[in-house]
Amino acid sequence: MERTTAPGATHASPLNATRLMRRTALNRAFAAVYACAIAALFYHHVLQLSKSSTTLITFFLSLSLLLSDLVLAFMWITTQSFRMRPIRREAFPENLKQVVVDDKGFPALDVFICTADPYKEPTMGVVNTTLSVMAYDYPTNKVSVYVSDDGGSQLTLFASMEAAKFARHWLPFCRKNDIVERSPGVYFSSDHDHPPFFSEIESIKTMYYSMKARVENIVERGKVGEEYFASEQEHEAFNKWTAGFTRQDHPTVIQVILDSDKDRDITGHVMPNLIYVSREKSRTSPHHFKAGALNVLLRVSAIMTNAPIILTQDCDMYSNDAQTPLRALCYLLDPKFQSNLAYLQFPQRFNGINRTDIYACTFIRLFQINPFGMDGLLGPNYVGTGCFFNRRAFFGAPSSLVPPEIPELSPGHTVDKSIQSRSTLTMAHHVANCNYENHTKWGSKIGIRYGSLVEDFYTGYRLKCEGWKSMFLYPDRAAFYGDSPINLVDVLNQTKRWAIGLLEVGFSRYSPLTFGARSMGLLMGLSYAHYAFWPIWSIPITIYAFLPQLALLNGITIFPMVSEQWFLLYVFLFLGSYGQDFLDFFLAGGTLESWWNEQRMWMIRGPSCYLFGLVEYLLTSIGISAQGFNVTSKVLDDEQSKKYEQGIFEFGVSSPMFVPLTAAAIINLVSFFGGLVRVCTGSCRWEGAFVQMFIAGFVTLNCWPIYEAMVLRSDKGRMPTKTTLISTFLASALYIASFLALRRN
């Protein structure tokens, strides 16, 4: 164990510790063996290719398989970077008092909460996230919470004001009773019968539910009525929503809802700052989605509070542990790391996932396994939420500050005016203008970087290339909990957006394979490349979903026979990768069922969102279409929730992404049985057909929910008839095409 001790502290009480995972040696040994197997596979491919060059069509078959295996091998190589040096960190916030003696010693903390649509992102979710971070175990006068509303909605402002009023009761209640759940929504959703303060709970619970009712009522009406304006100030704030105010076109609204210099809770204790920010929007200037919103927050907060530490949060990700900022301080205040630590990432964890995680939304590799691996190198990627930043990191490399265009935005600038002073507010409005960034370095050299739909991934990556490091903390008690989509279309659309954004990075001039590997070293370059080229999984998955099956239907065998030695190589490659995949998953706390579902979702994503993402990216890059950031819905439909709980797939709407998926399901089923008939009737030898039959059978097994949705179900979530028909048509067309191509020869 490598331990870092606080300055002046004894060895017994460190701030943090690091442990190399035990599996490292095994991972490295296995990588060496598996690499040899891959080399042998390509040798086999070369042999095949030279043998098959006799006819065009067999040559094409061999070439497709070679291409698939090249992509698989590339992805395998990139994943090795996660396995070479995985580490785990542990923070000891209880030892912090050796470094920070009293409240004054704590650095200020600015929290950014992003929301973009009061209908897709329920307003009460924003309220709960806001309250959960306001209630951090942190000196309240040091905390400022900024709510960024990209939806430009008075409903969100109203809800934030209601949150502030409730916070005056909630914060002292949490402090006094040492409440663990600081999101009131979560706290009140379970029963609490602690006799000592039972009546207090009851009264604050009533208060919470009446606030919730008010907010939901307003959201339903879509407008804040005059009768709700409690003060002249509130009246003035809502007056900004004039007739011409739309979400795409409106002036900046900045409203200081709580000012820690003035506002007190019901016990007279200081409140944190709470500021509502809706940046100016105009149809004629690009707003860069969340990246743009965060940059506005970086500037507005610089003018108002300029805290050295920033926490970025999505509105659906509430804090589940009030100690989280203290854990972050265990690193951010450690002199050993201070010089180049850009951010500290906590994982995205979700609490609405069903028992076996049918849509693999836990993303256990993305949010848990791989970050441990990257942490042992230069650090994990930034995932957009649950991340504590060193403000300085947004302004150039550790050793060379890139000064912003005005000194007030500089990370070293000290704020000496009240957040409500006229000059502060004027300046804050100025930096939130939609044209403010023109001819500045924002988005290119300063702040969150533009140019990708996955601004988080891209920004974290660019910071690494500049020489910054990051760290990954995975405490046992989840630091944050969020929502994940619960129907297949939402899941696939989310991954498709990511796919496009990732390719934007992969094929940019900052590609991790070239620029990245040069700036960060080969292993880090590979780990970022793994994500940047994520969507090319679609190539081998799609080829393997159709080609061997169509060949089998036509009586053509394309893999080694069971009696050949090459067959053993295929067995080893398959079992080796699936086995290691399972082991990784299992060691990360997964179960057999959730692993099965995860590998199924990998298969499902291949010919759907990865493929569509890849195609849409290509269309965008030649200028045919344009991509936007479609916010993922966090609304729970009762019927859908029920089906999700039961682990039933939700298709329901017809999406083009379902078509290749369903066509593959049909082809594999037909091919498996077709192959069986061929073997039984002796028109095909089983030794030759085995691998193809195995693949078709394995895919068929995985496709069970699709068959069910096509023929057995009658509920709203079944496969739309239209999709079934189009897919059947596509499958038949593919079969006929393959028949014509293969039989001719």
Q: Which partner, ligand UPG, Mn ion, none, binds residue 293 by CB below 5 to 8 Å per kind?
A: ligand UPG
Q: Which partner, ligand UPG, Mn ion, none, binds residue 114 by CB below 5 to 8 Å per kind?
A: ligand UPG
- Based on CB atoms, which residue is closest to ligand UPG, 162 or 455? 455
Q: What is the largest CA-CA distance in the chain?
A: 89
What is the footprint of Mn ion within residues 516-545 (CB under 5 A)? none
CB-based closest residue to ligand UPG: 384
Count of CB atoms situated within 10 Å of the CB of 433: 17
Q: Which two tokens stand for residue 175?
A: 């402090």
Choose one: 160-168, 363-371, 582-590, 628-636; the region binding Mn ion (CB under 5 A). 628-636
**Helix H or strand E segment including 703:** none
Q: According to the annotation, is 314 in a ligand binding site? A: yes
Check: CB of residue 408 under 8 Å from CB of residue 427. Answer: yes
Q: Which two tokens stand for residue 172?
A: 């002292």
Q: How far is the CB of 654 from ligand UPG (least distance, A)?
A: 22
Cα 688 vs. chain centroid, distance in angstroms? 43
- Based on CB atoms, which residue is closest to ligand UPG, 498 or 570? 498
Pairing state of beta strands 318-319 and 480-481?
antiparallel
Count of CB atoms situated within 10 Å of the CB of 685: 14
- SS3 of residue 431 by DSSP: helix
- Based on CB atoms, which residue is closest to ligand UPG, 27 or 148? 148
| Strand arrangement, sheet containing 2-5 | 2-5, 14-20, 87-91
Catalytic annotation, residues: 150, 456
Q: How far is the CB of 348 from ligand UPG (least distance, A)?
A: 6
Q: Which partner, Mn ion, ligand UPG, none, binds residue 385 by CB below 5 to 8 Å per kind?
A: ligand UPG
Q: What string marks each residue from 254 to 273 as x (binds Mn ion by CB under 5 A) or -?
A: --------------------
- Based on CB atoms, which residue is closest to Mn ion, 130 or 632? 632
Q: How far is the CB of 514 from ligand UPG (least distance, A)?
A: 24
| Cα 59 to Cα 706: distance, rounded to the nearest angstrom | 33
- Based on CB atoms, which residue is closest to Mn ion, 95 or 313? 313
Q: How far is the CB of 286 from Mn ion (least distance, A)?
A: 22
Q: According to the annotation, is 469 in a ligand binding site? A: no
**Helix H or strand E segment including 373:** helix 370-375
**Helix H or strand E segment including 469:** strand 469-472
- Based on CB atoms, which residue is closest to ligand UPG, 121 or 334? 121
Q: Which partner, ligand UPG, Mn ion, none, binds residue 665 by CB below 5 to 8 Å per kind?
A: none
Angle between helices 455-466 and 488-506 (to 10 degrees): 30
Q: How far is the CB of 632 from ligand UPG (least distance, A)?
A: 4
- SS3 of residue 707 by DSSP: helix
Q: Which partner, ligand UPG, Mn ion, none, binds residue 631 by CB below 5 to 8 Å per kind?
A: ligand UPG
Choose one: 1-9, 256-264, 318-326, 625-633; the region binding Mn ion (CB under 5 A). 625-633
- Based on CB atoms, which residue is closest to ligand UPG, 38 or 157? 157
- SS3 of residue 585 by DSSP: helix
Q: Which partner, ligand UPG, Mn ion, none, binds residue 289 by CB below 5 to 8 Å per kind?
A: ligand UPG
Q: How far is the CB of 316 from Mn ion (least distance, A)?
A: 6
Q: Write phi, then psi, for 371 (nearest 5 degrees).
A: -60, -35
Q: Which partner, ligand UPG, Mn ion, none, binds residue 130 by CB below 5 to 8 Å per kind?
A: none
* Bridge partners, residue 146, by sequence: 112, 275
Choose one: 35-43, 138-146, 182-190, 629-637; the region binding Mn ion (CB under 5 A). 629-637
DSSP character for 565?
H
Q: Which two tokens stand for residue 16?
A: 């943090």
Q: How far is the CB of 686 from Mn ion (least distance, A)?
A: 48
Q: Which two tokens stand for residue 531?
A: 């994500």
Q: How far is the CB of 554 from ligand UPG (least distance, A)?
A: 42
DSSP helix, strand, coil percent of the chain (3-state; round to 5): 55, 10, 35
Query: Which residue, 394, 390, 388, 258, is CA-closest to 323?
Result: 388
- Note the residues at the interface with ligand UPG (CB under 6 A): 114-116, 121, 148, 150, 289-290, 293, 314-315, 383-385, 453-456, 494, 497-498, 501, 629, 631-632
| Cα 85 to Cα 656: distance, rounded to the nearest angstrom | 41
The set of residues, in sequence order, having a beta carbon less than 8 Å from that of 189 and lying 6+ positions away, is: none
Q: According to the annotation, is 216 in a ligand binding site? A: no
User: In sequence order, what DSSP letters do the residues of 113-160 get, joined into one string?
Assistant: EEE--TTTTTHHHHHHHHHHHHT-SS-GGGEEEEEEETT--HHHHHHH
Instruction: Please identify which residue in the block is written with the tokens 């940047």.
Output: 532
- Based on CB atoms, which residue is closest to ligand UPG, 451 or 720? 451
Contacts with Mn ion by CB under 5 A lie at 632
Tell me the binding residues for Mn(2+).
290, 314
Tell me the binding residues.
120-121, 150, 290, 314
Tell me the binding residues for UDP-alpha-D-glucose.
120-121, 150
